[in-house]
Amino acid sequence: MVTDEGVIVADPISEGVAKAMLIEIRKVTDKPIRYLLYSHEHADHASGGQMLKDAGATLLSHEACVNT
């Protein structure tokens, strides 16, 4: 989601998908990536977040969302 302040991304899936997300986001906007939202901790949703964090995202999840 692109807002006036920046971009919100959800569930990066994997490093490959996170990289593809960044490429596609940059085709749409040069606004900063502000937040990465995790729906839950399963690896098929939560991998790849480091790349988005490195791009400036603050990671957000429910406190019960713990990578085990």
Residue 54 in tokens: 């490195």
Q: What is the pLDDT of residues 11-53, one digit of tens each?
A: 888 889 999 999 999 999 999 999 998 876 656 656 778 888 8
How high is the pLDDT of residue 1? 93
Using CA of residue 26, residue 28, residue 30, residue 31, what is the dihedral sign? negative
The whole-angstrom separation of Cα 52 and Cα 38 is 12
Helix and strand element counts for the chain (H, E): 3, 3
The model's pTM: 0.78
Could you tell me the residue ranges of all domains in the chain? 7-60
How high is the pLDDT of residue 41? 66
Nearest to 44 by CA among 16, 8, 7: 16
* pLDDT above 60: residue 67: no
